[in-house]
Amino acid sequence: DARVTQTPRHKVTEMGQEVTMRCQPILGHNTVFWYRQTMMQGLELLAYFRNRAPLDDSGMPKDRFSAEMPDATLATLKIQPSEPRDSAVYFCASGLNLINTEAFFGQGTRLTVV
């Protein structure tokens, strides 16, 4: 059963600490999205990659956030330093040529920064 795997599922950290979230896209998918979900803002697109190349990260605060795809089986989202306002659920989604096909979502990483 192919699925997008995100780790960790939950993370509690102190303000100022570095946080790394990982995503394993479905094998063969060439497009990966990172979204942030909060009650106030809903689902915000942070960044997305096609064939491991970043296509758009305009939704991501550049001073503290970074997203990479070191290889086709791993996408990472890093926050350094973390702040309480970063508390949210972060979703990774993958798909194949995500123009008109389905995006498959992971179960998310719930981040709490205290």
Partner 1 sequence: AQSVTQLGSHVSVSEGALVLLRCNYSSSVPPYLFWYVQYPNQGLQLLLKYTTGATLVKGINGFEAEFKKSETSFHLTKPSAHMSDAAEYFCAVSEASGTYKYIFGTGTRLKVLA
Q: What b/e readout covers 56-94, taking b as 16+ CB neighbours within 10 angstroms?
A: ebeebeeeebbbebeeeeebebebeebeeebbbbbbbbb
# residues contacting partner 1 (CB under 8 A): 20
Give the DSSP letter string of 92-112: EEEESSTTSSPPEE---EEEE
Regarding 98 and contact with partner 1 (CB under 8 A), the answer is: yes
Segment near partner 1 (CB under 8 A); pick from 19-27, 66-74, 80-88, 93-101: 93-101
Q: Which of 35, 57, 61 lies closest to 47, judged by CA? A: 57
Pick the closer one to partner 1 by CB: 80 or 112: 112
Regarding 113 and contact with partner 1 (CB under 8 A), the answer is: no
Q: What angle do CA 77, 105, 13 make, to 5 degrees?
A: 40
Regarding 55 and contact with partner 1 (CB under 8 A), the answer is: yes
Quote the least distance from Cβ 47 to partner 1, whole Å. Answer: 11
Quote the least distance from Cβ 66 to partner 1, whole Å. Answer: 19
Q: Token match 């780790």: residue?
A: 7
What are the residues binding partner 1 (CB under 8 A)?
Answer: 4, 33, 35, 42-43, 45, 48, 55-56, 91, 93, 98-100, 102-103, 105-108
